[in-house]
A and B are shown apart, each in its own frame.
Chain A
Amino acid sequence: GESVGLHLPTLSVQEGDNSIINCAYSNSASDYFIWYKQESGKGPQFIIDIRSNMDKRQGQRVTVLLNKTVKHLSLQIAATQPGDSAVYFCAENFSVRGTYKYIFGTGTRLKVLA
Chain B
Amino acid sequence: GAGVSQSPSNKVTEKGKDVELRCDPISGHTALYWYRQSLGQGLEFLIYFQGNSAPDKSGLPSDRFSAERTGGSVSTLTIQRTQQEDSAVYLCASSLLAGVAYFGPGTRLTVL
Interface residues of A (CB under 8 A from B): 2-8, 32, 34, 36, 42-46, 49, 89, 91, 93, 95-97, 99-107
Contact = CB atoms under 8 A, between A and B. Distances in A.
A107 to B, nearest CB: 5
Contacts of A104: 35, 42-43, 45
Q: Top 8 A-B pairs ranked by shortest CB distance?
A: A43-B103, A3-B42, A104-B43, A106-B42, A107-B42, A99-B50, A44-B103, A99-B55
A8 B41 contact: yes
A32 B104 CA distance: 21
B40 interface: yes
B100 A96 contact: no
Given A2-B59, A44-B103, A93-B98, A101 B48 contact: yes
A101 B101 CA distance: 10
A6 B59 CA distance: 16
A43 B106 contact: yes
Interface of B: 4, 31, 33, 35, 38, 40-45, 48, 50, 55-56, 59, 91, 93, 95, 97-98, 100-106
B99 to A, nearest CB: 9
Given A2-B59, A43-B106, A44-B91, A100 B40 contact: no
Nearest to A44: B103
Given A43-B106, A99-B56, A101-B48, A5 B100 contact: no
Contacts of A2: 44-45, 59
A2 B102 CA distance: 19
Contacts, number: 75
A103 B40 contact: no
A5 B91 contact: no
Given A46-B102, A93-B98, A102 B42 contact: no
Contacts of A34: 100-101
B6 to A, nearest CB: 8
